[in-house]
Structure 1
Amino acid sequence: MFGTLKSHTDLKAKLDALSRSLATIEFAPDGTILDANENFLAAMGYARAEVIGQHHRLFMEPAEAASPAYAAFWEALRAGRFQAAEYRRLARGGREVWIQATYNPVLNGSGTVAKVVKFATDVTAQKQRNAEFEGQIAAINKAQAVIHFALDGTILDANENFLAAVGYPIEAVRGQHHRMFVDSAYAASWDYADFWQRLGRGELQAGEYRRLAQGGREIWLQASYNPVFDAAGRPVKVIKYATDVTAQKLHAADVNGQIQAIGRSQAVIAFAVDGTILDANENFLETVGYSLAEIQGQHHRMFVDPEDAAGREYQGFWADLRRGEYRTGVYRRRGRQGREIWLQATYNPIFDMNGKPFKVVKYASDITLSVQARLEATEATRQTLDNVQAVASAAEEMSASVTEISGNMAQSKAAVDDIHHRTLAADRATTQLQDAAQAMDGVVQTISKVAEQINLLALNATIESARAGEAGKGFAVVASEVKALANQTTAATARISDQIVEMQRVSGDVVGLLAAIGGIVATVQSYVTGVASAIEEQSAVTREISSNMQTAAGGVASISRSLDRVALAAG
C-alpha cells in the first residue's frame, strides 16, 4: 500500500514538474478542452474560463479544422495513437504560434482513451529564427553558387548556380573530390593539402580562387568555405558559398593592365580629396625632380606658385574635385628649385561604393618643351607680324608712289605725243615754206630775165636816141631812167635771190633738224610708252603685292591670336 502511494506521489511530482516547465492542456477524446495550465494559457493569450468547454479547433484555421486531415488527427488520438510534431496554432486575435507538442492519449482501466494530455513548448521565436535562416539560405541558394563537401573534400551536393558555373550536371560531381576543380599541380601541392586540413579543423577559408570548369575552362570564384559544426562543436561538413567573378576578374585584369600601361607612359600621382599627396609613380617623380619621400604627405600646392595657391581659382579647383568634378587642361607647375614645368593633365576623382569621392588620381604628360617652343613661336610670330605689317605699309607707300609716277608718266606721254604731233606739223609747214621759196626763186628768175630784157631795151633806146640827136634826148632820158630802174630791179632781184637761197638753206636745215627732232621724239615717245606700260604693270604688281602683304599681315595676326589663345589656355 505504501509502495503504491509512493508511486502515485512520484508520478504527481513528475507531472507537476512537467506542468511548471511545459504548456499543458487536457482534452476529452472528442477534442473538448477539459483543463489547461498557466504556461499554455500565457502562450495562447486566453484566460482559463475562455477555453474550458471549447473545442481544440479554437486554435486552428477554420479551413484546416474542416479538413479530412484534422478529422483523421483526432480519430488517431481516439484510437490511442500518440501524435508528436511541430504545429502551427492561432492564439488570441489570430496571432500565429508555433509549438513543439506531443498529444498523449490516457487510457482508463478498460483500455479505452479517457482523455488526451498535450505537452507543448512554445517554439515561435525559434521557428521565426529558423524561418529567417531558411529564407536566408534559400536566398543564398538563389543568388550564389553553393556546394557541400564532406570533411575530406568529397562532394555531397551542389545547387544549380554552382553546376551552371562549372558546366557539370549533379551526377558528374556528386561523390567526386573537390580536386576535380583544380589543376593537377595545385592538387598535389602542400598548400592544397593544408587547405583541407584547416577546414577539417573547423577553420573558415575565404578568398578569390582560380578553378577549372568542364573542359578545363578557367573560372574565378569569390568564395568562402564554411565548416558546419554538430551540437558538440565538431566539424561535420563544409559548405562553400561562391560568386562567379570571372567576368569581373577579366575586366579588372584588363583595367589593371591599362592602368599599368598608363603608369609606364604617363606621370601619375594620387591625392586625398583635400590635396594631400598619397603616392606618385617614377615618371611623375622624374618630371618634378623629387623623391617620393620628399612629397608624400605634402600638399599639391608645393607644385604651384604661392600667389596662385592663395587665389580663389585654386581653392575652387580643389572644391570642384571634392564634388567629384573631373578637370583637364594644360597646367603650369613648379618642380624642384622652382623649375617651370608644363603638364597636359587630367585630375580624376575616384568614388567609393557610396558614390562619394575619396581620392583624386592625376594622369599627366610633360609638355614643357612643346609649350616653350609654342611660346617662342608666339614671340617669333609677333615679330613676324610687326615685320609683315612694316613691309605692308612700305608696299602701300610704294604702291602710292608708283601710282603717282604712273600718273606723271601718263602726262609725260601725252606731252611727248603733243610735241611729236607739233613737230610733224612744223615739218610739214617747213616743207611748204621750202616749196614756196623754190616757187619764189622761179618768179625772181623771171623778173631777172624781164629786167635784163628791159635793160637791153633801154640800151637799144639809148643807142637809138643817140642816133636821133636832139630829137632823141628826151627819149634818152627816159631810157636812162628805165635802165636805172632795170638795174635796180636786177640788183633787188639778185638780193631777193640771195635771200631766197639763204631761206632755202635755212629751211633745209630746219627740215633736217625737224626730221632729226621727229626721230628723237618718236624714239622718246616709244620709250615713254614702254615706260608707262611698264609702270602700269609695276603698279598692278605693286597693288597685288600690297594686297598680298595685307592678307599676309591678317594671316600672321590670326596665327598670333591663335597662339595667344593657346598660351592663355596653357596658363
Structure 2
Amino acid sequence: MFSKLREHADFKAKLEALNRSLATIEFTPDGTILDANDNFLAAVGYTRAEIAGQHHRIFMEPTDAEEAAYTAFWADLRAGKFQAAEYRRLAKGGREIWIQATYNPILDGAGRTRKVVKFATDITAQKQRNADYEGQIGAINKAQAVIHFALDGTILDANQNFLDTVGYPVEAVRGQHHRMFVALEHAASWEYADFWQRLNRGEFQSGEYKRQAKGGREIWLQASYNPVFDASGRPFKVVKYATDITAEKLRTADVAGQIEAIGRSQAVIAFTVDGTILEANQNFLDAVGYALTEVQGRHHQMFVEPEHAASREYQAFWADLRRGEYRSGVYKRRGRNGREIWLQATYNPIFDMSGRPFKVVKYASDITANVQARLEATAATKQTLDNVQAVASAAEEMSASVREISGNMAQSKAAVDDIHQRTQAADQATTQLQEAAQAMDGVVQTITKVAEQINLLALNATIESARAGEAGKGFAVVAGEVKSLASQTTAATARISDQIVQMQRISGDVVGLLATISETVTTVQSYVTGVAGAIEQQSAVTQEISTSMQTAADGVASISRSLDRVAIGGI
C-alpha cells in the first residue's frame, strides 16, 4: 500500500513537472476542450473560460478543419492512437503559432479512450527562424552555385547552378573528390592539403579560386567554404557557396592589361578629388624629374605657376573634376627647378559604387619637344607669312602694271588697226586717181588728134587761100588763126600730157609706198596683236599668281594661328 502511494505521488510529481514546463490541454474523445494550463493559455492568448466547452477546431483554419484528414485525426485518437508532430495552429485573433505536440489518448479500464491530453511546446520562434534560414538557403541556391562535401573532400551533393557552372550532371560528381576541379599539380601540393586540414579544423575559407570545369575548361569562382557543425560543435561537413566570376575575371584581366599597357606607354598620376597626389608611375616621375616620395601627399599645384594656382580658372578646374567632369587638352606644367614641360593629358574622374567621384587619374604624354618645335615653327611661319604677304603684294602690283600695259597695248592695237584701214582707203583713192589720169590721157590723145586735124585743115586752107589770091586773103587770115589755135592747143595738150605722165608716175610711187606702208602696218599689226595676246595671257597668269599668293598667305596665316593655339598653355 505504501509503495502504491509512493508511486502515485511520484506520478503526480511528474505530471506537475510536465504541467510547469509544457503547454497542456485536455479534450473529450470528440475534441471538446475540457481544460488547459496557464502555459497553453499564454501560447494561444485565450482565457480558460473562452475555450472551455469549445471544440479543438477553434485553433484551426476553417478550411483545414473541414478536410477529411482532420476527421481522421480525431478518429485515430478515439481509437487510442498516439499522435505527435509539428502543428500549425491559430491563436486568438487569427495569429499563427507553431507547436511541437503530442496528443495522448487516456484509456479507461476497458481500453476505451475517455479523454485526450495534449502536451505541447511553442516552437513559433524556432519555426520562424527555420523558415528564415530555409528561405535564405533557398535564395542562396537560386542565386549561387552550392556544393556539399564530406570533411575528406568527397562530394555529397550540388545544386543545379554549380552543375551548370562546371558542366557536369550530378551523377558525375557525387562521390568524387573535390580535386576533380583542380589542376593535378595543385591537388598534389602542400597548399591544397593544408586547405582541407583547415576546413577539418572548422576554419572558414574564402577567396577567388581557379578551378577546372568539364573538359579542362578554366573557370574562376568567388567562393566561401563553410564548415557545418553538429550539436557538439564538431564540423561534420563543408558547404561551399560560389559565384562564377570567370567573365568578370576576364574583363578585369583585360582592363588590368589595358591599364598596364597605358602605364607602360604613358605618364600616369592619381589624385584625390581635392588635388592631393596619391601615386604616380615612373613615366610621370621621369617627365617631371621628381621621385615618388617627393610628390606623394603634395598638391597638384606644385606643377603649375604660382599665379596660375591662385587663379579662379584653376579653382574652377578642380571644382569641375570634383563634379565628375572629364577634362583634356595640352597643358603647360613645371618640372623640377621650374623647368617648363608640356603635357597632352586627360583628367579622368573615377566613380565609386554610388556614382560619386572619389579620385582623379591623369593620363599624359610628354610633348615638350613637339611644342618647342611648334613654337619654332610658329616663329618661322610668321616670317614666312610676312614674306608671302610681301610677294603677294608685289604680285598684286605687277598684276596692276600688266593690266595697265595690256590696256595701252589694246589702245595701240586699235590705233594701228585704224592706220591700216586709212592706208587701205588711201590706196583705193590713189588707184582711183591713177584710173582718172589714164582716162585724162585718153582725152588728151583725142584732143591732140583733133589739133593735128585742125592743123592739117589750116594748112590746106592756107594752100587754098594762096591759090585763091586776093579772094583768099581773108580765109588765109582765118586759117592762120586756126593754125595758131591748133598750135596752142597742141602745146597745151603736150603740157597736160606731161603733167598727166608726171601724175601717173607720182601716183605709181604713192601706190608703191602705200603698198609698203600697208605691208609694214600689217606686220606691226600682227606684232601688236601677238604682244597684246601675250600681255593678256600674262595678265591672267599674273592675276592667278596674285590670287594664289593671297590664298597661300591666308593658309600660312591659318597655320600660324593653329600653331599658336597648340602652343597655348592650359590649366
TM-score range, shorter chain: 0.7 to 0.9
Q: Shift in Å at residue 410 of structure 1?
A: 5.1
Q: Letter of the aligned partner of 2:394 in structure 1?
A: A
Q: Shift in Å at residue 15 of structure 1?
A: 1.9
Q: Shift in Å at residue 205 of structure 1?
A: 0.8
Q: Shift in Å at residue 564 of structure 1?
A: 4.2
Q: Shift in Å at residue 114 of structure 1?
A: 2.3
Superimposed CA distance per residue, residues 410-459 of structure 1 (whole angstroms, 9 cap, x where no aligned partner) = 55667778899999989x99xx9xxx9xx9xxxxxxxxxxxxxxxxxxxx
2:516 & 2:43 partners in 1: Cα distance? Answer: 154
2:176 & 2:416 partners in 1: Cα distance? Answer: 124
1:403 & 1:117 partners in 2: Cα distance? Answer: 133
2:281 is aligned to 281
2:100 & 2:522 partners in 1: Cα distance? Answer: 144
Q: Letter of the aligned partner of 2:158 in structure 1?
A: A
Q: Shift in Å at residue 259 of structure 1?
A: 1.4
Q: Letter of the aligned partner of 1:215 in structure 2?
A: G
Superimposed CA distance per residue, residues 11-51 of structure 1 (whole angstroms, 9 cap, x where no aligned partner) = 22222222222211111122111111111111101011000
Q: Does the C-alpha gap of structure 1 residues 216 and 540 become closer, same or farther in structure 2, counting only changes over 3 Å?
A: closer
Q: Letter of the aligned partner of 2:123 in structure 1?
A: V
1:384 is aligned to 384
1:212 is aligned to 212
Is contact 2:330-2:566 (8 Å) kept? Answer: no
1:98 is aligned to 98
1:463 is aligned to none
Q: Letter of the aligned partner of 2:368 in structure 1?
A: T
1:344 is aligned to 344
2:12 is aligned to 12
Indicate the SS of the match to 1:29: coil
Q: Letter of the aligned partner of 2:84 in structure 1?
A: A
1:67 is aligned to 67
Deviates more, 1:351-360 or 1:169-178: 351-360
2:449 is aligned to none
* Pairing 1:349-364 to 2, within 5 Å after superposition: 349-364=349-364
Q: Does the C-alpha gap of structure 1 residues 538 and 121 become closer, same or farther in structure 2, counting only changes over 3 Å?
A: same
* Pairing 1:168-247 to 2, within 5 Å after superposition: 168-247=168-247
Superimposed CA distance per residue, residues 344-375 of structure 1 (whole angstroms, 9 cap, x where no aligned partner) = 22222222222222222222222222233333
Instruction: Give structure 1 stretches of 5+ with no counterpart.
Output: 440-509
Is contact 2:144-2:241 (8 Å) kept? Answer: yes
Identical residues among aligned pairs (%): 78
1:499 is aligned to none
Q: Does the C-alpha gap of structure 1 residues 421 and 211 become closer, same or farther in structure 2, counting only changes over 3 Å?
A: closer
Instruction: Give structure 2 stretches of 5+ with no counterpart.
Output: 442-509
Q: Letter of the aligned partner of 2:63 in structure 1?
A: A
2:113 is aligned to 113
Confirm whether residue 307 of structure 1 aligns to residue 324 of structure 2.
Answer: no
2:532 & 2:181 partners in 1: Cα distance? Answer: 103
TM-score when normalising by structure 2: 0.80
Q: Shift in Å at residue 525 of structure 1?
A: 7.6
Q: Shift in Å at residue 290 of structure 1?
A: 1.3
1:537 & 1:163 partners in 2: Cα distance? Answer: 90
Superimposed CA distance per residue, residues 311-338 of structure 1 (whole angstroms, 9 cap, x where no aligned partner) = 2332222222222222222222222222
2:80 is aligned to 80
1:410 & 1:105 partners in 2: Cα distance? Answer: 143
1:370 & 1:158 partners in 2: Cα distance? Answer: 63
* Pairing 1:450-489 to 2, within 5 Å after superposition: none
1:515 & 1:144 partners in 2: Cα distance? Answer: 120
Q: Shift in Å at residue 167 of structure 1?
A: 1.4
Q: Does the C-alpha gap of structure 1 residues 211 and 516 become closer, same or farther in structure 2, counting only changes over 3 Å?
A: closer
Indicate the SS of the match to 2:399: helix
1:399 & 1:153 partners in 2: Cα distance? Answer: 99
Q: Letter of the aligned partner of 1:184 in structure 2?
A: L
What is the aligned-residue RMSD (CA, Å)?
A: 4.3
Q: Shift in Å at residue 555 of structure 1?
A: 2.8
Q: Shift in Å at residue 385 of structure 1?
A: 2.2
1:480 is aligned to none
Q: Does the C-alpha gap of structure 1 residues 413 and 176 become closer, same or farther in structure 2, counting only changes over 3 Å?
A: closer
Indicate the SS of the match to 1:364: strand
Q: Shift in Å at residue 570 of structure 1?
A: 6.2
Q: Letter of the aligned partner of 1:551 in structure 2?
A: T
Q: Letter of the aligned partner of 1:287 in structure 2?
A: A
1:497 is aligned to none
Q: Shift in Å at residue 376 of structure 1?
A: 2.9
Q: Shift in Å at residue 187 of structure 1?
A: 1.1
2:406 & 2:74 partners in 1: Cα distance? Answer: 137
Q: Does the C-alpha gap of structure 1 residues 401 and 116 become closer, same or farther in structure 2, counting only changes over 3 Å?
A: same
1:141 & 1:410 partners in 2: Cα distance? Answer: 103
Q: Does the C-alpha gap of structure 1 residues 522 and 238 become closer, same or farther in structure 2, counting only changes over 3 Å?
A: closer
Confirm whether residue 127 of structure 1 aligns to residue 147 of structure 2.
Answer: no
Indicate the SS of the match to 1:353: coil
2:285 & 2:293 partners in 1: Cα distance? Answer: 10
Indicate the SS of the match to 1:151: coil
Q: Letter of the aligned partner of 1:170 in structure 2?
A: V
2:143 & 2:418 partners in 1: Cα distance? Answer: 114
Q: Letter of the aligned partner of 1:337 in structure 2?
A: N
2:520 & 2:111 partners in 1: Cα distance? Answer: 172
Indicate the SS of the match to 2:332: strand
2:55 & 2:414 partners in 1: Cα distance? Answer: 146
1:79 & 1:350 partners in 2: Cα distance? Answer: 76
2:257 & 2:236 partners in 1: Cα distance? Answer: 43
1:411 & 1:180 partners in 2: Cα distance? Answer: 108
1:137 & 1:515 partners in 2: Cα distance? Answer: 128
Indicate the SS of the match to 1:42: helix
Q: Shift in Å at residue 535 of structure 1?
A: 4.1
Indicate the SS of the match to 2:121: strand
Q: Shift in Å at residue 138 of structure 1?
A: 0.8
2:39 & 2:405 partners in 1: Cα distance? Answer: 133
Confirm whether residue 2 of structure 1 aligns to residue 2 of structure 2.
Answer: yes
Indicate the SS of the match to 2:395: helix
2:220 & 2:417 partners in 1: Cα distance? Answer: 106
Deviates more, 1:226-235 or 1:522-531: 522-531
Superimposed CA distance per residue, residues 384-407 of structure 1 (whole angstroms, 9 cap, x where no aligned partner) = 222222222222222223333444
Q: Shift in Å at residue 339 of structure 1?
A: 2.2
Q: Does the C-alpha gap of structure 1 residues 110 and 342 become closer, same or farther in structure 2, counting only changes over 3 Å?
A: same
Superimposed CA distance per residue, residues 158-186 of structure 1 (whole angstroms, 9 cap, x where no aligned partner) = 11111111111211111111111111111
Is contact 2:371-2:566 (8 Å) kept? Answer: no
Q: Does the C-alpha gap of structure 1 residues 98 and 383 become closer, same or farther in structure 2, counting only changes over 3 Å?
A: same
1:89 is aligned to 89
1:110 & 1:333 partners in 2: Cα distance? Answer: 109
TM-score when normalising by structure 1: 0.80
Indicate the SS of the match to 1:54: coil
* Pairing 1:388-427 to 2, within 5 Å after superposition: 388-409=388-409
Q: Shift in Å at residue 568 of structure 1?
A: 5.3
1:184 & 1:289 partners in 2: Cα distance? Answer: 49
Q: Shift in Å at residue 288 of structure 1?
A: 1.6
